Amino acid sequence: MANGESHVLALPFPAQGHVIPLMELAHCLVEHGVKVTFVNTEVNHGRILGALDDASHGGELGGVDMVSISDGLGHGDDRSDLGRLTESLLSAMPSELEKLVGRINASASAAGGGGREVTWMVADVNMAWAFPVAKKLGLRVAGFCPSSAAMFVTRIRIPELVEELIGDQETKARAIVLRDAASLAVGDGGSSRRNLTRFLDLIRS
């Protein structure tokens, strides 16, 4: 598809260190003629617009269309609780995202040749629930990892590191302690257990 016809929906995880890297990618895409709509939570959207001068409050930032959807939490809820935030995102955002794409595409169709329907979704890998939504809507998808290349390489090499260390008795003893601590962390009632359950449900769906 030609750049003049492409329209990417960018969806970051709403936490520090996730929004800005994806925004930088969005600007790169715009520079190459791709239309980008950047989807923030309502809270983050308000913060961004509030930090801009009055001339930039038209819902656009450097050629990137800025829109928002609800994260499912109330106005006074603590969004620094990542367990609760993630649970709310999984519950509230899929339907909101689907409706947003529907509105954008309906508006593009009404505009005739002057509008572009959404063709791609680029989502933070921590927002993997969005990929089934994109598939349902017929969008092509790409996962975006905001961490550094060094962190990414470290993660994919973890199995090799484990194999190298497994023969060391001291390391093995420490691993047993960490295993027991992890078991307690995911016990009944803990946010880690809820997140794990949600993740498993997502994998099975």
Q: What is the CA radius of gyration of the chain?
A: 20
1 falls in which pLDDT band (50, 70, 90)?
A: very low
Say what percent of the chain tops pLDDT 90: 29
The reply to whether 11 and 96 lie within a common domain is yes
Which one has a higher pLDDT value, 173 or 113?
Answer: 173
Report if residue 81 sits inside a domain. yes
Residue 64 lies inside a defined structural domain of this protein: yes
- Lowest-confidence range among 8-22, 103-117, 158-172? 158-172
Residue type, 77: D
Question: What does pLDDT average to over the chain?
Answer: 80
Residue 118 pLDDT grade (very low, low, confident, very high; cuts 50, 70, 90) = very high
pLDDT in tens, 29-55: 998 889 999 998 877 777 777 766 655
Write down which residue in 101, 127, 146 finishes a domain: 146
**Same-domain check for residues 194 and 131:** no
Shared-domain flag, residues 157 and 142: no
pLDDT band at 162 (very low <50, low <70, confident <90, very high): confident
Predicted TM-score of the model (pTM): 0.68
54-79 pLDDT, tens digit each = 555 556 667 889 998 887 777 777 67
- Confidence grade of residue 149 (pLDDT, cut at 50, 70, 90): confident
Query: 122 and 39 in one domain?
Result: yes
Task: Please give the Cα distance from 198 to 67 (Å, whole number).
Answer: 27
Distances, alpha carbon 32 to alpha carbons 5, 22, 63, 129, 178, in Å: 12, 16, 11, 28, 48
Tokens of 138: 């017929």
139 and 169 in a single domain? The answer is no
Q: What is the CATH number of the domain that holds 119?
A: 3.40.50.2000
Sign of the alpha-carbon dihedral angle for 148, 186, 128, 78:
negative
Q: Are 70 and 92 in contact (CB under 8 A)?
A: yes
Residues 96, 170, single domain; the answer is no
> Do residues 16 and 106 both lie within one domain?
yes
For residue 17, give its domain range.
3-146
* 42 contacts: CB under 8 Å, gap ≥ 6: 68, 69, 70, 71
Report yes or no on 57 lying in a domain.
yes
Contact between 176 and 138 under an 8 Å Cβ cutoff? The reply is no
Tokens coding 100: 């947003």
Please tell me whether residues 121 and 27 are part of one structural domain.
yes
In this structure, how many other beta carbons lie within 10 angstroms of the beta carbon of residue 38? 25
Q: Are residues 66 and 109 in the same domain?
A: yes
Residue 85 shares a structural domain with residue 172? no
Give the total number of structural domains in the chain. 2
Residue 204 covered by a domain = no
73 located within any domain: yes
Are 59 and 88 members of one domain? yes
Q: Are residues 102 and 10 in the same domain?
A: yes
Q: Which carries the bigger pLDDT value, residue 1 or residue 170?
A: 170
